[in-house]
Amino acid sequence: MLADPPSIDLRTTFQYFLNRALTQGRALDPGVPFGVDTRAAIDTVASEHPDASADHIACAYDAFQREHGC
């Protein structure tokens, strides 16, 4: 099992969970503090594993930027 993500800042946490979705196909855990669109985008990347596209990844970054400004 993987260790919990580092709690340095929200962007680091976002990158950790996006990478996990991309490489392992794992959706977000319920308590992760992201907005609705960011959660949906990361979950889409996970559901598309191992075939998530660059567009899926870009959508996740765009949603995160829009909702969290980081």
> pLDDT for 20-29, tens place per residue?
999 999 999 9
Answer whether residue 52 is part of any domain. Answer: yes
Answer whether residue 45 is part of any domain. Answer: yes
Give the global pTM: 0.86
Answer whether residue 21 is part of any domain. Answer: yes
Answer whether residue 58 is part of any domain. Answer: yes
> How many domains is the chain partitioned into structurally?
1
* pLDDT at residue 25, as a whole number: 98
Answer whether residue 3 is part of any domain. Answer: no
* pLDDT at residue 1, as a whole number: 47
Answer whether residue 4 is part of any domain. Answer: no
- Judged against a pLDDT cut of 70, whether residue 3 lies above it is answered with no
- Quick one: which of 6, 4, 54 has its CA closest to 29? 4
Contacts of 7 (CB under 8 A, 6+ apart): 13
Answer whether residue 64 is part of any domain. Answer: yes
Domain interval for residue 40: 10-25+34-68
- Quick one: which of 24, 5, 11, 4 has its CA closest to 60? 11
> pLDDT for 9-66, tens place per residue?
899 999 999 999 999 999 999 899 899 999 999 999 999 999 999 999 999 999 999 9
